[in-house]
């Protein structure tokens, strides 16, 4: 059975917050997501991982209970973050 990915609005409903809050989490890199054209989608696995404290900020990991073993040794974690490519600003000629 294939689980359909969540939209920010569906996830906001589940978490009782706004869709903009979910989109801000995606922009900050706290919640992994992917694009389908202009639409954002969040996999069920990413939602489960976030809710279990496997992904998220250090503060949320410290304050939440764990769904499973998440032990890591120092140096065993590689964090990847997507950033936007900066475009040079157009400066008016003088």
pLDDT at 30: 92
Q: Which tens digits make up the pLDDT trace of 27-74?
A: 999 999 999 999 999 999 999 999 988 776 554 445 545 444 444 455
CA distance 40 to 55: 18
CA distance 69 to 39: 33
Q: Which tens digits make up the pLDDT trace of 8-26?
A: 999 999 999 999 999 999 9
pLDDT at 6: 95
Q: What is this structure's pTM?
A: 0.57
Q: How many C-alpha atoms does 35 have within 13 Å on its Cβ side?
A: 4
């Amino acid at each position: 059975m294939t689980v359909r990915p969540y939209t920010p609005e569906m996830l906001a409903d589940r978490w009782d917050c706004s869709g903009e809050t979910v989109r801000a989490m995606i922009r900050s890199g706290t919640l992994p997501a992917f694009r389908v054209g202009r639409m954002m989608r969040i996999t069920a696995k990413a939602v489960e991982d976030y809710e279990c404290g496997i992904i998220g900020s250090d503060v949320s990991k410290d304050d939440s209970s764990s769904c499973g073993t998440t032990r890591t040794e120092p140096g065993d974690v590689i964090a990847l973050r997507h950033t936007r490519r900066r475009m040079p600003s157009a400066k008016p000629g003088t």
